[in-house]
Amino acid sequence: MRMTDLIEKKRDGGELTTAEIRWMIEGYTKGDIPDYQMSAMCMAIYFRDMTERETYDLTMAMLDSGDRIDLSGVEGVKADKHSTGGVGDKTSLLLCPMLAACGVKMAKLSGRGLGHTGGTIDKLESFAGFSTSMSMETFLRSVNENGFAIAGQTGQLVPADKKLYALRDVTGTVPSMPLIVGSILSKKFAAGADIIVLDVKCGSGAFMQTEEDAFGLARLLVEVGRHAGKKVVAVVTDMDEPLGNAVGNALEVKEALAALKGEYAGDLLELCMTLGGEILLSGGIAPDEASARAMLQEAIDSGAALSRFERFVAAQGGDPAAVRDTSLLPRAPVVIEASSRRAGYVRHIDAHGVGIVSMHLGGGRATKEDDIDLSVGVVLKKKVGDHVALGESLGTIHAASEEAAGEAVMLLRGCFELTEEPVHRAPFIKGVVR
| Residue closer to ligand URA, measured from CB, 21 or 179 | 179
Residue closer to ligand URA, measured from CB, 84 or 375: 84
The smaller minimum CB distance to ligand URA, of residues 178 and 362, is found at 178
Question: CB of residue 271 vs ligand URA: minimum separation in angstroms?
Answer: 17
Residues 6+ apart with CB under 8 A from 72: none
- How far is residue 208 CA from its own chain's centroid? 14
**Size of residue set near ligand URA by CB under 6 A:** 7
Which one of 89, 122, 161, 240 is the catalytic residue?
161
CB of 158 to ligand URA, least distance (A): 10
Report the relative pairing of strands 106-110 and 148-152 from DSSP bridges. parallel
180 binds ligand URA (CB under 6 A): yes
Q: Is 422 helix (H, G, I), strand (E, B) or coil?
A: coil
Residues 54-113 that bind ligand URA (CB under 6 A): 84-85
Task: Give the span between the Cα atoms of 419 and 389, in whole angstroms.
Answer: 12
Q: Which of residues 159-178 bind ligand URA (CB under 6 A)?
A: 174
Tell me whether residue 347 is one of the annotated catalytic residues.
no
CA-wise closest residue to 184 among 142, 230, 141, 145: 230
Least spacing, CB of residue 84 vs ligand URA, in Å: 5
Q: Are 341 and 393 in contact (CB under 8 A)?
A: no
Q: Which is nearer to ligand URA, 131 or 154 (CB)?
A: 154
Least separation in angstroms between CB 153 and ligand URA: 11
Residue 82 annotated in active site: yes
End-to-end CA distance of the chain: 38
- State the burial class of residue 197 (Cβ atoms within 10 Å of its Cβ: 0-12, 13-18, 19+): buried
Please identify the residue of the shown chain whose CB is closest to the bound ligand URA.
183
Q: Does 184 bind ligand URA (CB under 6 A)?
A: yes
Distance of alpha carbon 323 from alpha carbon 327, whole angstroms? 9
370 among known catalytic residues: no
CB of 299 to ligand URA, least distance (A): 28
Cα separation, 199 vs 181, whole angstroms: 13
Q: Is residue 240 flagged as an active site residue?
A: no
183 an active-site residue? yes
> Which amino acid makes up residue 93?
L
Helix (H) or strand (E) holding 201: strand 195-202
The residue annotated as part of the active site, out of 22, 78, 81, 82, is: 82
**Cα–Cα distance measured from residue 13 to residue 15, given in angstroms and rounded to the nearest whole number:** 7
Q: Which one, 85 or 152, has the nearer CB to ligand URA?
A: 85
The residues binding ligand URA (CB under 6 A) are 84-85, 174, 179-180, 183-184
Q: What residues are annotated to the active site?
A: 82, 161, 168, 183, 187
